[in-house]
Amino acid sequence: MTELWTLIKYLILGLFQGFTEPIPISSSGHIVILKNLFDLEIKGLSFEILVNFGSLIAVLLIFRHDIIRLVKNGVIYITKRDEKAKGDFQFILFLIIATIPTGILGLLFEDIISETLSKPIVVGYTLLLTGAALWVIRNLRGRKNDGDIRVKDALIVGFAQAVALVPGISRSGATIVAAMLVGMKQETALRFSFLLYIPVSLGITMMSFTDIITDPDFNAMAIPYLIAFMASIVASFYALKWFINVMAKGNLKYFAFYCFIVGILVILFI
């Protein structure tokens, strides 16, 4: 019975991480809350790496046509200097530029974030901050398309993603808020945000692969981790498709309400 309950806990963790990763309510914050409620102490980073990789697979599936087009046109521009492919080539460069702040700040402050800030009380306050940011941009309608993005815009969005390393600060929320504040249209902000997630998630997965291999608890927890991994793929896929529709209708205020409510409950009761 105990083993079954453990599997159910990890299934719930995987579903929550997967569902909350694409939408602006902070997957890392919800994992901190759930681990506290379930009284789970997950040692090492193997679990977080695997469930985030599951979300990455879902993002790759949904944005596969954009990825194929960008790669194809990027190669065409480099090899043939075709002006028609220049816009997609520049878009790739801006994604690379926006990735840099997260990489630098992540390496510098990883220990502080994982040891000091991964606490429910911190998540409560950062969820309130996420909610406030979403409330600010709830009615914004930008004018910038993919071809209108500049280096400054990419850096601002990149630093916003770096701030989201703190549990409770939503990565998708922070990047979409920043993108819309610099004037991007909603669909451009959403596409830039999730395409930006790809190199960051891939980088974290590749850099942390040895952590999974050397994790002494991995073999014993392989089945629960696998269940959470599969759950995160399915949940992320459907959550992202749903969120794309929500963004199209301009209903971000509901995510702000959710962050306010959960943040207050965590501060008061957990």
Range 51-88 burial, b when 16+ CB lie within 10 A, else e: bbbbbbebbeebbeeeeeebeebbebbeeeeeeebebb
> Is the Cβ–Cβ distance between 77 and 85 less than 8 Å?
yes
Domain count, the chain: 1
Q: Is the dihedral of CA 252, 258, 167, 67 positive or negative?
A: negative
Q: Which position has the higher pLDDT, 219 or 232? A: 232
Question: Mind listing the pLDDT tens digit for each residue in 123-157?
Answer: 999 999 999 999 999 888 889 998 899 999 999 99
Instruction: Kindly report the pTM of this predicted structure.
Output: 0.91
pLDDT at 44: 64
> What residues make up the domain containing 12?
1-269
Report how far Cα 235 is from the mean position of its chain's Cα atoms.
13
Least confident of 90-94, 107-111, 116-120, 163-167: 107-111
